[in-house]
């Protein structure tokens, strides 16, 4: 589950929420799904709170990637 992209995690989370809200899920299964959902919430939040600020980089013609500096 850790390998899911943010979008996949979010989609999976939505799917579980809808299932639990609409479906007639037996309690044991519901608890199982709930645990999964909480893991997904954590994965999503971790990704959203990724402290590293996005960095703009410039790709040179030779494929080398360097930090982008607009004054260049």
Partner 1 sequence: MEDKTFTVSEINKYINRILKGDPNLKNIQIKGEISNYKTFPSGHSYFTLKDETSQIPAVFFKFNKDRFLDFEPENGMKVIIKGKIEVYENDGKYQLYVTKIQKDGIGDLFARFEQLKKDLDKEGLFKDTHKKEIPKYPQRIGVVTAQTGAAIRDIITTIKRRYPICEILVFSTLVQGSQAAPQIVRQIKHAQEFNIDTLIVGRGGGSIEDLWPFNEEIVAREIYACKIPVISAVGHEIDFTIADFVADKRAATPTAAAELAVPSIQEVKNNVDQLSNRINKSIEDKLLENKTKLEYISQKNVLKNPETIYEIKGMRLDSLISRLDFSSKNIISQNRTRLFKLENSIVLKKPEEIIKAKREAYLKNFNKLEVLNPLLTLKRGYTMAKSGDKVISSAKDVKVGDEIDIEFNDGTVNTRVI
**30 touching partner 1, by CB under 8 A:** yes
Contact pick of 1, 17, 39, 64 for partner 1 (by CB under 8 A): 17
Residue 60's contacts (CB-CB under 8 Å, 6 or more residues apart) are: 66
> Of the two residues 1 and 58, which places its CB atom closer to partner 1 in the complex?
58
Q: Please say whether the beta carbons of 43 and 2 come within 8 A.
A: yes
For residue 62, what are its two tokens? 């030779």
Identify any residues that bridge with 66 across adjacent strands, giving them in sequence order.
58
Q: Under the rule (CB under 8 A), what is the footprint of partner 1? A: 5-7, 10, 13-14, 16-17, 20-21, 25, 27, 30-31, 34, 37-38, 41, 44-45, 47-48, 50, 52-59, 61, 63, 65, 68, 70, 72
């Amino acid at each position: 589950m850790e390998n899911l992209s943010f979008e996949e995690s979010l989609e999976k989370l939505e799917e579980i929420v809808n299932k639990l809200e609409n479906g007639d899920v037996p309690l044991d299964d519901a608890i199982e799904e709930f645990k999964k959902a909480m893991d997904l919430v954590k994965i999503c939040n971790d990704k959203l709170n990724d402290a590293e600020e996005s960095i703009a980089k410039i790709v040179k013609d030779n494929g080398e990637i360097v930090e982008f500096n607009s004054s260049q």
